[in-house]
Amino acid sequence: MSSLQRHFLRRVVQGVGRERKSRWGLITERKMANVVNDGGDSTEEIVNGAVGGGGGVEDVYGEDFATEEQFLTPWAVSIASGYNLMRDPRHNKGTAFTEKERDAHYLRGLLPPAIFTQELQEKRLMHNLRQFEVPLQRYMAMMDLQERNERLFYKLLIDNVEELLPVVYTPTVGEACQKYGSIFRRPQGLYISLKEKGKILEVLKNWPERNIQVIVVTDGERILGLGDLGCQGMGIPVGKLSLYTALGGIRPSACLPITIDVGTNNEKLLNDEFYIGLKQRRATGQEYAELLEEFMTAVKQNYGEKVLVQFEDFANHNAFDLLEKYTRSHLVFNDDIQANNAYIFPGFGLGLIMSGAIRVHDDLLLAASEALAVQVEDEHFKKGLIYPPFTNIRKISANIAAKVADKAYQLGLASRLPRPKDLVKHAESCMYSPLYRTYR
């Protein structure tokens, strides 16, 4: 059996909580059990749990026919163990796996014997990052870390936010986008191009996470102050969402970066053999509008009315038009126009999510601004500061989120009921923690 078949089998057997037809059609377990591995374990062994010590009994009397259309979750298939566990960035802990975890999840021999705390791992990585003199090298090192150990990535970013924020976002992310094709290693986020016109809903369903709360989308036409970078603008949604998590506490699994590729007018990219996007002139007019309309409709259909869509780095003529068109029908905002500040947008987004807001009203943005202003104390003014210290950004975001949520409830825009008594504490309790979990 090929690796693709094995991967597909596991996804279907697990079911991920929903029945879904793939391009191979709905395959029953009995049909899958007839697929035999090329010189390895049979699919039947995998389904019955024989691989990995799960055990299994042959169905001599055909009693399993009654359940052959149901998705089952055999132990050996559903529990990530050993090699696969270490390559799952959401669950990998590297050398921080305990003795019990190494025994329980077949990690013996796959890791060196020393056991590090997350704090020691953080210390080592910060030491290594500081050895790089070129900012782009630090950026690439951080992206590599995000792809192999998600919690450690956010632990570093949260604990060293003033030092690492310029690495994962501006100004370094601008250079990364310019060279994105050359440094491309692994796709991050979802790419929707003109090729997908008419089937964007299907493309959205290819994303493995179903409970999406925040989407940051760009068409790459105005990336920072660098102009049209086309498909290579993906670094911006990826970076912006990492800030939503680190600064605003929104779960990484609830974040979806999207690049809409309608071409580029950048001659350098069109002639670049390593350019990862469509090599054609940028679509405009009706063709562009129809693609965006299909995208916005599909987002609402797939993720519901309360998913926050942030338009990012669209050219001004499109940015204002899109905001005006969809602000009454979707939960949308454009941080370049309305809240372009790392002090504001993470807490603003958290406030919308925790209240279940269905629309963005101007009063919500004013509430966020006022919440930031009241956190500037006299001692800050004496030091010449007009903002509170950025090292307290998570506390700042919690207070902003509480004020935004409060205003949403006042305006009748909130859908999460009953309203929490203490919105600040509720905001803090909603925040993602990067600390490692203990696996049984």
**Annotation: binding site for a divalent metal cation:** 312-313, 336
Q: How far apart are CA 199 and CA 208, in angstroms?
A: 17
Distance CA 344, CA 385 (A): 16
- CA distances, 142 to each of 81, 90, 393, 437 (Å): 25, 15, 20, 21
Q: Is 240 a catalytic residue?
A: yes
Looking at 139, 154, 169, 432, which residue is catalytic?
Answer: 169
Exactly one of 240, 306, 403, 407 is catalytic; which is it?
240
Question: Binding site: what residues are annotated?
Answer: 222, 312-313, 336
Distances (CA, A) of 212 to 4, 83, 252, 299, 394: 26, 28, 9, 10, 21
Please count the residues of the chain: 440
The SS3 call for residue 255 is: strand
| Whole-number Å distance between alpha carbons of 134 and 131 | 9
CB 74 within 8 A of CB 47: yes
Q: Is the dihedral of CA 179, 182, 188, 192 positive or negative?
A: positive
User: Which helix or strand (DSSP H or E) is residue 369 part of?
Assistant: helix 362-373
Strand order in the sheet with 214-218: 190-193, 255-261, 214-218, 308-311, 332-334
State the Cα–Cα distance between residues 338 and 334, nearest whole angstrom: 6
Where in the sequence numbering do the catalytic residues fall? 169, 240
